[in-house]
Copies of this chain bind each other. A is one copy, B any other.
Amino acid sequence: MTESVWKRFQVKGGQLRLGHRATIEDVAAHAGVGVGTVSRVLNRRQHVSQPMRERVEAAIAELDYRPSQLARSLSKGSSDTVSVVAPHITRPSVVARIDSCLAELNRVGVVASLFGVFNRTQFDQVVDALSDRHSTRALVVVSIPVTGAQVSALQCANVSLIGLDVKVTTSDSVFIDNVLGGAMVGSHLIAQGYRRIGFVGDVDSGNFKFTSSHARLRGLKSALQKGGLRLEPENVKFCEHGTSSAKECAMGLLMSNRAPDAIFASSDTGALGVLSAATELGLRVPDDLGVVGFDDLEMAEVVGLSSVSQPLSLSGAIVAERLIKRLTRQDAHPIHTLLDLHLVKRASSSKACHLANVLQPAN
């Protein structure tokens, strides 16, 4: 249907236009009206009589006309798309946020385009490109700290900025208290009787200037101090995000002669690697080694991993909701939302309930 229509209506001013889709001008000509009128019915504006409206709508349908968003943006001086820029789109925690955010936006008919960036430079480029009143109406930045210059460039272009999992002081943002999260883990491990506690965090390989891993470490450290323990520097490791590298990292920790009796991994993905390392070394979890992760992914429950739960989906949904509000009315001051955290205690850190074993990687 569609393609045949295009083939039929290729005439404009008597000239053949191969493969071109109809323009507003074609519609106007076809309906025998001016372009202004077509534009009015397109934008559902007042001051257009019913019969005229119908005639135009018929022409639109016949020509299978769809307005060019591009030309529209250029003319209006503003776009009606929203963009999301995020790092590490392979991480379950990140995609969970993004997914719920997009879902919520889609629910009200807003399609957002997502930009995955792999390092700071790319992030800066994308933000720069988006700092143009024509290109996007709103921007959601996930996890990456935004500089003051970027913020002002964006507001100068009239694009509303919202931080998801990152605080943006001069704009809306939704985030958690990572220091608190780390502290929760620390006091839990102490309460469970662990004494030599270690930490496995993520290095910021893309140079994004992430802070969460370090914040969680600070929280852990302060909780330990409060409990009269100290975090041995040799038991603190940072490695690439991921199960296998965390496993390697944990192996190093666990094979030392003053090995930790508990490890806090700053992500569940990493914690899984720690569990795997423990299994490989014949350590029983939670007796010989306590393990706690972060994010409380679905996998954590299946595997019996204790973890700090944060409302990932909710965070995305809140951002979407706020975004939609910003799109309509322009409230004054920025709104910051600090989401709640809670520790989900499972077998991996509860000496009471004995944990069987991790599945053996064999073949």
In the complex, A332 has a CB within 8 A of chain B: no
Q: Which of A62-70, A217-225, A228-236 contacts B (4 or more CB under 8 A)?
A: A62-70
- Asked if B2 and A152 make an inter-chain contact with CB atoms under 8 angstroms apart, the answer reads yes
* Partner of A363 from B117, B243, B345 at Cβ < 8 Å: B345
Chain B nearest Cβ from A60, distance in angstroms: 14
Q: Which of A123-131, A165-173, A323-331 contacts B (4 or more CB under 8 A)?
A: A123-131
Chain B nearest Cβ from A284, distance in angstroms: 11
- Asked if A128 and B66 make an inter-chain contact with CB atoms under 8 angstroms apart, the answer reads yes
A304 to B303, CA, bound (A): 13
Chain B nearest Cβ from A323, distance in angstroms: 15
Chain B minimum-CB-distance residue to A64: B153
Q: How many copies does the complex hold?
A: 2
Q: Which of A40-48, A182-190, A251-259, A354-362 contacts B (4 or more CB under 8 A)?
A: A354-362
Chain A, 103-135, contact with B by CB distance < 8 Å: what is the 0/1 string?
100100001111111100010011011011011
- Asked if A115 and B113 make an inter-chain contact with CB atoms under 8 angstroms apart, the answer reads yes
List of B residues within 8 angstroms of A273 by Cβ: 302
List of B residues within 8 angstroms of A362 by Cβ: 304, 346-347, 350, 353, 355
- Asked if B360 and A304 make an inter-chain contact with CB atoms under 8 angstroms apart, the answer reads yes
In the complex, A203 has a CB within 8 A of chain B: no
Chain B nearest Cβ from A92, distance in angstroms: 7
* Partner of A99 from B90, B350, B360 at Cβ < 8 Å: B90
Chain B minimum-CB-distance residue to A86: B114
The chain A residues found within 8 Å of chain B, CB to CB, are 1-3, 6, 19, 21, 66, 68-71, 73-74, 79, 83, 89-90, 92, 95-96, 98-99, 102-103, 106, 111-118, 122, 125-126, 128-129, 131-132, 134-135, 149, 152-153, 156-158, 242-244, 247, 272-273, 275-276, 285, 298-299, 301-305, 344-348, 350, 353, 355-363
| A-B pairs with lowest CB-CB distance, top 3 | A304-B359, A113-B113, A356-B357
16 pairs of residues in contact across A and B, judged by CB atoms under 8 Å: A2-B149, A3-B152, A19-B158, A74-B74, A89-B114, A106-B122, A111-B122, A113-B114, A114-B116, A244-B298, A247-B302, A304-B359, A346-B362, A355-B359, A357-B359, A359-B359
